[in-house]
Amino acid sequence: DTEVTQTPKHLVMGMTNKKSLKCEQHMGHRAMYWYKQKAKKPPELMFVYSYEKLSINESVPSRFSPECPNSSLLNLHLHALQPEDSALYLCASSQGQGRRYSNQPQHFGDGTRLSIL
């Protein structure tokens, strides 16, 4: 069991659908992350939120729209996705961002496996 909870665990959607992935943590962490992991590849960073503000966007297409409503929740809104967007989407959290937190690990959820038809 992880302390970062992601829902749903699996999602199948068409290219015209709109859906959202959710992530929740109750560890008091102030930094949260979205990663994308294609099959047999390592995770790749998409977005970083620090104190509910977007601090890193790794040139992710606009069909992925992150949202951080509060310090415990992180959403990823999906719209008009392509078949190549099928992947495992991982959420992570850490105590914070910045030099003082660079020795604090990120804790991952078990991901949402997304399939685009």
Partner 1 sequence: DAKTTQPPSMDCAEGRAANLPCNHSTISGNEYVYWYRQIHSQGPQYIIHGLKNNETNEMASLIITEDRKSSTLILPHATLRDTAVYYCIAAALFNSGGSNYKLTFGKGTLLTVNP
Positions touching partner 1 (CB under 8 A) are 2, 4, 42-45, 48, 50, 55-56, 90, 92, 97-99, 101-103, 105-111
Helix (H, G, I), strand (E, B) or coil at 15: coil
Q: Nearer Cβ to partner 1, position 44 or 67?
A: 44
Query: CB of residue 16 vs partner 1: minimum separation in angstroms?
Result: 28
Q: Do the beta carbons of residue 10 and residue 112 sit within 8 Å?
A: yes
**Smallest gap from residue 22 Cβ to partner 1 (A):** 15
Among 36, 9, 8, 6, smallest CA distance to 24 is for 6
d(CA 25, CA 63): 25
107-108 and 64-70: which strand pairing? unpaired
Among candidates 90, 86, 92, 75, which has minimal Cα distance to 114?
86
- The smaller minimum CB distance to partner 1, of residues 16 and 102, is found at 102
CB nearer to partner 1: give 9 or 18: 9
Question: Please, which residue, 82 or 104, has the CB nearer to partner 1?
Answer: 104
Nearest distance in Å: CB 83, partner 1: 21
Minimum distance, C-beta of residue 3 to partner 1, in the bound complex (Å): 11
